[in-house]
Amino acid sequence: MTIDSLISPEVKEVIKQINQLHLELTEVVGKGPYSQQEELDWLHYFNEREKDIKALLK
Amino acid sequence: MTLSELRTSILSIPSDDELAAYALEQNPDEATKLNIQQQRQGKLKTGADIVPKYRPLTYFIKNQEGKENRWVTLFDTGSFQSKMYLVIKGATFTMNSDDFKTSKLIAKYTADIFGLTDENKATFMRLYGRRSIVRLISSITKIGTV
């Protein structure tokens, strides 16, 4: 009985999104530095992404 | 918080296998109890009935003892099921029992007496595993903690 069969599609989606977020963050940070406004814009963008993922974990 | 700080707070998540193994390791007794319940309901991990059914004499004795006799429950004294435990091997999991009757029972009813049906896997994750996984995700990222 494979253990990954325990992970529901819903949890798999959360994992996928967190890993995607991690990759995007790494890429964006690597392309810095940014102006103060650009940094704030990116932070706002990633905070919104986090909120969406948190909602999936509820 | 800066972008760099945010990145260090959101780490990548382990693989599905690792997360599932973690959920099982955190709740071994619960997974085993579901397997026992499943056996008491006369079901193999495939969802099929445990067969062959009881012979007439066993059927009669179980009836006299007030025990379930309409299907095979693998329950008599309770020794076999009380000695059951979870086994995680690589990317697979099953259960086993330290009881001396185990190999005889496997020979008679197949090794599918151990393991969970799809329905019970879903029940395990809904009642126990999901909570453990969300906690783990929260501990390695800050997502889910607020």
- The secondary structure element, H or E, covering residue B86 is strand B84-89
DSSP state, residue A2: B
- Measured in angstroms, the CA of B46 and the nearest CA of chain A are apart by 10
| A11: nearest CB among B45, B118, B130 | B130
In chain A, what residues touch B93 (CB-CB under 8 Å)?
A: 1, 3
- Chain A interface includes B31 (CB < 8 A): no
Give tens-digit pLDDT for B75-118: 999 999 999 999 999 889 999 999 999 999 999 999 999 999 99
| pTM of the predicted model as reported, rounded to 2 decimal places | 0.84
Q: Do A39 and B6 touch (CB under 8 A)?
A: no
B22, B133 contact by CB (below 8 A) = yes
Average pLDDT over residues B51-72: 95
**Count, residues in chain A:** 58
| A47 vs A39: CA distance, rounded Å | 12
User: Residue B107's pLDDT is what?
Assistant: 98
Report residue B144's pLDDT band, with 50, 70 and 90 as the boundaries.
low
